[in-house]
Amino acid sequence: MKILAGSHNGYLAQKVSQKTGFSVIPISISRFPNGEYKIQIKESLSGQKCIIINSMSHPTHDNIMQMFLLADAAKRSGAKKITAIVPWLAYSPQDKVFRQGEPLSSKVLVSLLESLPINNFILLDVHSSLILDYFQKPVKEISALPLFQEYINQNLTINSVDWYVVALDKGSIKRSSRLAKLLKLEIKNFNKKRDQETGEITYTRFPEELQNKNVIIVDDYTSTGGTLVQAVEHLKGNGARECVCFLTYCVSREGLDAVLKSRINQLIITNSITYPDLKHDKLTILDISSLIAQEIL
Ligand code: R5P
């Protein structure tokens, strides 16, 4: 088994290599003067199985294009089986046509990925199960929840009287319920509304039981930070104590910074998307390479 990665995913590829012993294949990635990519895999992959690790985060379109070109190059270099490991699947929040005239963007991207010589896909914490239905080829979703559970067991002293899991919206009920079940905690739901035009978020309900209680929030991603910042303000403003939040992805640095500036007590994210010089006393970054290693060993 060989590991390939685009230019923004080398760190994660090295981590997976350390855990599995599979080598990371050298790739030259440069650009033509007009900005188009010029890619070359520097070793033959003849008869080899290979994985391509590419989180399609910032710069989104560069990472998408690198995935396309790497898959084609791997096939032409002789790979006999190609597995695409895509921790952050770009466009996945656009899993529906929300307003007339919009494209079904996530399905467009999935169709393009499926047209490549990729045999199967491994995704991490997809935004919604609709996305899995858009795939025709084998696709598996893995989850960061076991990492979150492990972190909680090792770092928080929780009990079912003082701690609750809070689901911020309908979309997060499934993920939040799974975590609540693993932790044997009760779950409370918020009612979040987002204005499709302005993106503005409002929470319209505060479960009274959360007064003077500690709260665990789990969500798939933050972009502007609005969802979490508003949630934390709403909770703290109504008398909740500790707010500890778990996210699989932070798709923008600005959103991440906004969440860290809020009254949140702890933010725990994963290294599925990396940022340089990311350090903050409220922030913990969990390593997902063990989850990927488990899938490919
Ligand atoms: C919602 O469905 C998502 O799971 C996130 O809660 C949300 O969209 C994050 O976006 P933002 O950080 O911009 O509020």
Percent of the chain having pLDDT more than 90? 90
Determine the pLDDT at residue 32.
98
Binding site membership of 128 for ligand 1 (Cβ less than 6 Å): no
Binding site membership of 248 for ligand 1 (Cβ less than 6 Å): no
91 C-alpha to ligand 1 centroid (Å)? 13
Percent of the chain having pLDDT more than 70? 100
Q: Whose CA is nearest to atom 1 of ligand 1?
A: 171
What is the maximum alpha-carbon separation in the chain? 62
Give the model confidence (pLDDT) of 46-57 as tens digits. Answer: 999 999 999 999
Q: What is the pLDDT along the chain (297 residues), one digit of tens a residue?
A: 999 999 999 999 999 999 999 999 999 999 999 999 999 999 999 999 999 999 999 999 999 999 999 999 999 999 999 999 999 999 999 999 999 999 999 999 999 999 999 999 999 999 999 999 999 999 999 999 999 999 999 999 999 999 999 998 888 999 999 999 999 999 998 888 888 788 888 877 778 889 999 999 999 999 999 999 999 998 999 999 999 999 999 999 999 999 999 999 999 999 999 998 899 999 999 999 999 999 999
220 C-alpha to ligand 1 centroid (Å)? 8
Binding site membership of 224 for ligand 1 (Cβ less than 6 Å): yes
Give the model confidence (pLDDT) of 88-144 as tens digits. Answer: 999 999 999 999 999 999 999 999 999 999 999 999 999 999 999 999 999 999 999
Determine the pLDDT at residue 188.
93
Determine the pLDDT at residue 22.
98
Token duo for residue 194: 């987002």
What is each CA distance from 175 to 71, 104, 275, 283, in whole angstroms?
31, 24, 25, 21
23 C-alpha to ligand 1 centroid (Å)? 36
> Among 7, 46, 12, 1, which residue's Cα sits nearest to residue 26?
7
Q: Tell me if residue 236 falls in helix, strand or coil.
A: helix
Determine the pLDDT at residue 92.
97
Tell me whether residue 44 is exposed, middle or buried, using C-beta atoms within 10 angstroms of its C-beta: 0 to 12, 13 to 18, 19 or more.
Answer: exposed
Q: Is the pTM of this model over 0.85?
A: yes
Ligand 1 pocket test, pick from 91, 172, 222, 267 with the greatest ligand atom count within 8 Å of Cβ, gives 222
Ligand 1 pocket test, pick from 125, 130, 174, 221 with the greatest ligand atom count within 8 Å of Cβ, gives 221
Q: Which atom of ligand 1 is nearest to the CA of 172?
A: 4
Binding site membership of 171 for ligand 1 (Cβ less than 6 Å): yes
Binding site membership of 190 for ligand 1 (Cβ less than 6 Å): no
CA dihedral 268, 273, 278, 283 (to 10 degrees): 0
Q: Which atom of ligand 1 is nearest to the CA of 225?
A: 12
DSSP structure string for 121-139: EEEES-S-HHHHHT-SS-E
